[in-house]
Amino acid sequence: MKAKVLLSLILLCGSLAAPVARAGDAAPAVPAACELPPYLLTSESQLPKVADAIKAGKPLEILVIGSRSTTIPSAEDASYPARMQAILKDKLPPSEAVHVSVEIQSKKTAEEAASSFVKLMEAKKPTLVIWQTGTVDAIRAIDPDEFRGAVTEGVSALQNAGADVVLMNLQYSPRTETMISAPPYLDNMKVVAQEHDIPLFDRFAIMRQWNDQGQFDLFSPSRGPELAKQVHDCLGRALAQFVIDAAHLEPVQQQN
């Protein structure tokens, strides 16, 4: 059963780590399918290190730590980290260097992933870490309190290494909604984000919004890679805007 759940949850992802987008990738107007209510793209918490780096004209180094749902097979430049990089390059000043790298922690719980963070941060030295977690813990039915403790330790390790942190929760899938219990993990990630005053990118609520409003049919796997590209494009756009808003950039720092 767990294997079937995992297979369903990675329909939109793939099996290869995605490199960053190529320079010059266009960032057109937001497609109608990507539209979201403002409350899903705002956070009371801030990203001060991102803001300082951009104001000082320093390269913005972003590390995405995630699972296979960060990727798309045979369409690496269409993954959400690659699309986020392209959108940020379009929105930020032309002189601003933006680099997004991906660290795949396939099939690892939050505790297992967090155990590598000290060495990972020493090697990468990112300005911002986007940590996507919770899916494997939910599939394995890890005790929610243990999950919260692991996320807390992971966030502390990332912050102690000098990075801003954004937590990203589980992806939503109507095909697995009755097979795993997501709410305890979603709730505990909210608690950790509040305790550490860091933004939480609510991927679960965002994808459920798209599905419920008919923007994407996440139940049917028939469209395969094409659906994955569209969803990842929208996630990349949403995440880029989320980062810009959480960094509270001044309008003069953004491009029209």
| DSSP SS3 for 103 | strand
Rounded-to-10 torsion of CA 151, 154, 155, 160 = 160
Q: How far apart are CA 35 and CA 18, in angstroms?
A: 24
- 142 close to 186: Cβ distance less than 8 angstroms: no
**What does pTM read for this prediction?**
0.86
Question: Which single residue is written with the structure tokens 């990972």?
Answer: 120
pLDDT tens string, the chain, 256 residues long: the values are: 554 444 444 444 433 233 333 333 444 467 888 999 999 999 999 999 999 999 999 999 999 999 888 887 667 789 999 999 999 999 998 889 999 999 999 899 999 999 999 999 999 999 999 999 999 999 999 999 999 999 999 999 999 999 999 999 999 988 888 889 999 999 999 999 999 999 999 999 999 999 999 888 877 665 677 888 999 999 999 999 999 999 997 644 444 4
CATH topology of domain 2-14+41-249: Rossmann fold (3.40.50)
Q: Residue 48: its pLDDT value, please?
A: 97
Q: At 191, phi and psi to the nearest 5?
A: -60, -45
- 70 close to 135: Cβ distance less than 8 angstroms: no
Q: Residue 30: its pLDDT value, please?
A: 76
In the chain, where the domains are located: 2-14+41-249
